[in-house]
Amino acid sequence: MTESTANGQPLIYLEGVSKVFFTDEVETHALSDVDLEIHDGEYVAISGPSGCGKSTLLSILGLLDTPTKGVYRLGGEAVADLKASQRARIRNRQIGFIFQAFNLIGDLTVYENVELPLTYRAMPKSERKKRVEEALERVGMAHRMKHYPSQLSGGQQQRVAVARALGGDPPVLLADEPTGNLDSKNGEAVMDLLRTVHESGATICMVTHDQRFESYAQRIVRLFDGGVVEDPAVG
């Protein structure tokens, strides 16, 4: 935990965040004056209809994109205007991603997929091995570490993706429609896994349009037309 979160400040803090895309002289306002606070240990679902700005918001939270205007502080540090190399470094160390499409590398084994983000750190091989094995054990996939993604079911691939996100022990897990490519049974299994991860102390921010899975979160923030229309934290 960072000093700022230990002092009660939010782990994630957005104020007046907007995102405008410019194409062929047309302005598309994906986000408009979004305010959001997420504290250490929270499990927040960002919900809303298709095209409301959920994925854009998650991209900004994950430092994959930058806001057109507004303030974004992660762990008390301003991150909205950092250089690409600085954003990449923070992503590698402080943010774990779980994508709808799994995003596993087909010619790498399960073990190698989970290890890959750790290779970009100055971390001894023995430490990487320990982290990878622990992460795979947590998601029940240690017995498949020598397999390739094509040899796994969709549910198993998503479990490996969760392990990859957990391996770096990031303060924040960002999940973008983590059940979107799964049937209902595997979707529920992945959501149960995320709940277990949260109960162990992780901070999770999940984008979903599936009302069945909103209830797994402690708090549901609803977006519509790029703005927050409901957030229990602010009444």
Q: Which two tokens stand for residue 29?
A: 């306002």
Q: Chain-centre distance of CA 37, in angstroms?
A: 15
Per-residue pLDDT of the chain (235 residues; tens, 9 = 90+): 343 455 678 999 999 999 999 888 888 999 999 999 999 999 999 999 988 999 999 999 999 999 999 999 999 999 988 999 999 999 999 999 999 999 999 999 999 999 999 998 888 999 999 999 999 999 999 999 999 999 999 999 999 999 999 999 999 999 999 999 999 999 999 999 999 999 999 999 999 988 889 999 999 999 999 999 999 988 6
Find the length of the chain: 235
125-to-7, 105, 120, 131, 145 alpha-carbon distances in Å: 35, 20, 12, 10, 16
Q: What local confidence, expressed as pLDDT, does residue 2 receive? A: 40
Q: Which fold has domain 40-64+83-234?
A: Rossmann fold (3.40.50)
Q: Distance (Å, rounded) from C-alpha 180 to C-alpha 25?
A: 33
Which positions ≥6 away from 73 have C-beta within 8 Å?
10, 12, 13, 79
Which positions ≥6 away from 46 have C-beta within 8 Å?
54, 57, 58, 205, 206, 207, 208, 221, 222, 223
Secondary structure letter of residue 125 according to DSSP = H
Q: What local confidence, expressed as pLDDT, does residue 7 receive? A: 61
pTM of the model: 0.90
* 20, 165, 78, 46: CA torsion to nearest 10: 50
